[in-house]
Amino acid sequence: MAKKTVKDIDVKGKRVLVRVDFNVPLNNDGQITDDNRIRAALATIRYLLDLEARLILMSHLGRPKGEPDDKLRMDPVAKRLEDMLDRPVTKVDDCIGEIAGDAVAGMRDGDVVLLENLRFHPGEKKNDDNFARQLAELGEVYVNDAFGTAHRAHASTQGVTEYLPGVAGFLLEKEINMLSKVVDNPERPYVAIIGGAKVSDKIGVLDNLIGKVDSLIIGGGMANTFLKAKGYELGKSLLEEDKVDAAKELIGKAEQKGIELLLPVDLVVAPGAEPSAESKVVPADAVPEEWMALDIGPETAQVFGNHVKDCSTVVWNGPMGVFEMEPFAQGTIAVAQALAESSAITVVGGGDSASAVKKAGVADRITHVSTGGGASLEFLEGKTLPGVASLQDKEEG
């Protein structure tokens, strides 16, 4: 998937429209609690500024419903970015129209403008052609460096490429290269660890991986559905009854292809998902009737960890339990530590898995922590990402 990058275009003195992923978490006071996504875009931003481009940055923030929301304005992001770059960042109160146009018209080489939240306009998520055209009119060339939204066919990720030549930023390039390596040419043995709450969210990726991995580890709430498929009673545990047959099929496919499928052998259970709830460890086939599985047990964590040690490529997407609550976080943290201690190429999907390796204090010991949860999952599923497909291809030779 060779796409042109910022290094393949002339940007000096040009208006460069850059889609970044500045969808950072904010507290109740509107303060940024984690600026990793801003930091992830700095390499591309600084490269373009060093070449005296006129930088127009655009992003969404949170989930506004297609209209302005004062709690989700980009002002805190502009301030943080200004501190990081040590240069002024002009935040504009809209992303299209006269306000945005006037701000861009007044730019000089090396200036930085940050547009208002894209999702204040319904045309962004609808990939509205008129909205995309108005965004495109602000720039002369387009750069996508927002891997976290590359799986969305939105106006700022796909629509603008109908009007502007599009290339990848360094972050997007790194994500594609790293994920392509584990999907297309992994060092073996290759194991995928898939967790999270629902099988339905990940049936596609499991089906795709069964044809490519040497072994598959399943944990988290979704493992309950697989345990049910094996005939276990799971008490009040979260599981998808309508996906039990799909789980049986996947178990059968793994057996047919000679792929080792590892499921929990013990579980941490409690009467409810509360941090203060009484909890205990039980065998995976012995969940009490009024209790629910909320984490993998210590024996399972050890089995999973030992398996990882013998592999050369490890991909992990999804936590092993309700890791936001301390009593049910130990399985997820154990898996994170096993990856950190492994000599394998380790790739962690974004979202909760990225939060988990950070919480465990081992993010710097993982080969690659993706910035996009949904995007990395769809890539592993073998799907085409619209935000990548719409960029210009590199000429061969």
Determine contact, residues 252/269, Cβ cutoff 8 Å: no
Determine contact, residues 119/60, Cβ cutoff 8 Å: yes
Q: Which of 181, 198, 236, 383 is catalytic?
A: 198
**Nearest alpha carbon to residue 177 among 44, 9, 19, 2:** 2
**Where would I find the H helices in 153-234?**
170-184, 203-210, 221-229
Q: Which of 15, 19, 37, 125 is catalytic?
A: 37
Annotated catalytic, 374? yes
SS3 331: helix
SS3 85: helix
SS3 109: coil
SS3 88: coil
Q: Which of 374, 382, 383, 394 is catalytic?
A: 374
DSSP secondary structure code for residue 366 in this structure = S
Annotated catalytic, 231? no
Annotated catalytic, 365? no
Annotated catalytic, 198? yes
Q: Is 104 exposed, middle or buried (0-12, 13-18, 19+ CB in 10 A)?
A: buried
Q: Which residues are catalytic?
A: 37, 198, 351, 374
